[in-house]
Amino acid sequence: MKSRDWGLEKRTGGTRQGRIIRASEIGQYTFCARAWWLSQIRGVPSTNTHALAQGEAVHQRHGRAVWTAGALRIVAFVFLIVAVVIVIAAVLGIL
């Protein structure tokens, strides 16, 4: 039984090696297999480039916010350790 390759072998030089499938492609395929085929195999450009650009900008802002939250968590932890050391030093009469 021959497997369906949807034209992938033509795009990858006769092999399937090196083809990375992204999560967004899986989502696109589950939403509409034909849309996935058109964009990934046939190379038909998307007609909603404005919405895609807006979505990318939202994801970039969210990524920066997540990074900032992580950095602030580390700073807060350092301040907490310093405060505990100061309290222990005060209790022991070192300060």
Give pLDDT tens digits for 37-52.
998 889 898 888 899 8
Residue 75 has pLDDT above 90, yes or no: yes
Give residue limits of the domains in the chain.
Answer: 1-47, 49-95
What is the distance between the alpha carbons of residues 10 and 40, in angstroms, rounded to a whole number? 12
pLDDT band at 1 (very low <50, low <70, confident <90, very high): very low
Q: What does the DSSP 8-state code read for residue 39? A: I
Are the beta carbons of 90 and 83 closer than 8 angstroms?
no
